[in-house]
Amino acid sequence: MEGPLLAWWLLLCAVAFVNPLLWFFSARRMERAELPASRRWILWLAAVYVAGCGFRSVFPMLDAARLCLHDNWISRVAVGRSIATIAELAFALQWALLFREGGTLATRLASRAIVPVIGAAEIASWSAVLTTNYLLHAVENSLWTIAAALGLAAFLSLRLQARGATARFLDAACAGALVYIGYMVIADVPMYLERWRAAGGVTVPLDEGLRTVLERCVVVREWSAWREDATWLTLYFTVCAWVSVALPHAPRLGGSGRAASTPPRSMPPRAPETSVPTALRTRRSAPRGRDRAASRAHARASRRGA
């Protein structure tokens, strides 16, 4: 294995080791935090994504080209692509659950649309892999760009009313979404369009594509074959995985960071004093002299009887 390629693969292996440790640290923090059930789901979906990234870091493959680094039974495009599909859908579900906390039209739209958009991207990806049609890979990554644009609109819809930690999170999220969209538009999608033009639109039949994805990949250990894809693969297995692990701890979007406008706690109303019946009040206010006279009369009657 060439020096640059070996260094890159060792970096990916290190990331595959570190990312699960970061997830366990995230899970430990969750144990001490009072968070809604949706954040627990986001945490476990992060575990799915981290596991998928870990496998693909140790066993990297270029699906459409049928290339891999290791000659073993597990290095098959069908295996790697299936794991990638599950991991990417889990990542999309994380964002959908997070956007459900927002109360704006944009967050509701993002929450409902992101998973179907990414589902369509996965269909395009599988079609590209089976037919080696790089135009479909461009479609796939364009759909990911649309999903990021939906997320950006959702973040912006919350930003004006956000305060404190929520505002800082939204600022970082907006910046990250803009960088991602810019990278996809400037570098990633054009890369696949250029490959499609270079191939002259030639594709393989579906049955042949299905047969080849089930076979072992072709082992290629020259850096030139991996260099162009190394950038997006590295970002995929590092930055995206770290975002996935951190997402359960994002500030709540529902309140936009504002102090809750709950009314002050009021004291329970005092029970009205029970009014004393008029007759009883009259008896209590009768002159005490009448009681004393009755007592003296009773005493005289007792002496006479004696």
Query: In sequence order, what DSSP letters do the residues of 87-153 get, joined into one string?
Result: HHHHHHHHHHHHHTT--SHHHHHHHHHHHHHHHHHHHHHHHHHHHT-HHHHHHHHHHHHHHHHHHHH
- Give residue limits of the domains in the chain: 3-249
Q: Is 90 exceeded by the pLDDT of residue 201? A: no
107-116, 159-168, 259-268: which range is least confident on average? 259-268
Q: Where are the beta strands (DSSP E) in the chain?
A: 61-62, 67-68, 218-219
Tell me the CA end-to-end span of the chain in Å, nearest whole number. 132
Residue 218: which pLDDT band, with cuts at 50, 70 and 90?
very high
Instruction: Identify whether the C-beta of residue 89 lies closer than 8 Å to the C-beta of residue 122.
Output: yes
Give the model's pLDDT for residue 306: 45
Give the model's pLDDT for residue 160: 87
Cα 85 from Cα 171, distance rounded (Å): 29
Q: SS3 for 67?
A: strand
Give the model's pLDDT for residue 1: 76
- For 62, phi then psi, to 5°, come to -110, 105
Mean pLDDT of the chain: 87
Sign of CA dihedral 239, 241, 243, 246: negative
- For 216, phi then psi, to 5°, come to -65, 145
Task: Give residue-wise pLDDT tens across range 132-170.
Answer: 999 999 999 999 999 999 999 999 999 888 899 999 999
Give the model's pLDDT for residue 279: 45
Cα 186 from Cα 193, distance rounded (Å): 12
Q: Is 70 exceeded by the pLDDT of residue 177? A: yes
Higher pLDDT, 210 or 275: 210
Q: Is 80 exceeded by the pLDDT of residue 305? A: no
Residues listed for the chain: 306
* pTM score of the predicted model: 0.81
Higher pLDDT, 268 or 229: 229
Task: Give residue-wise pLDDT tens across range 4-61.
Answer: 999 999 999 999 999 999 999 999 988 877 777 889 999 999 999 999 999 999 999 9
- By CB atoms closer than 10 A (0-12, 13-18, 19+), residue 132 is buried
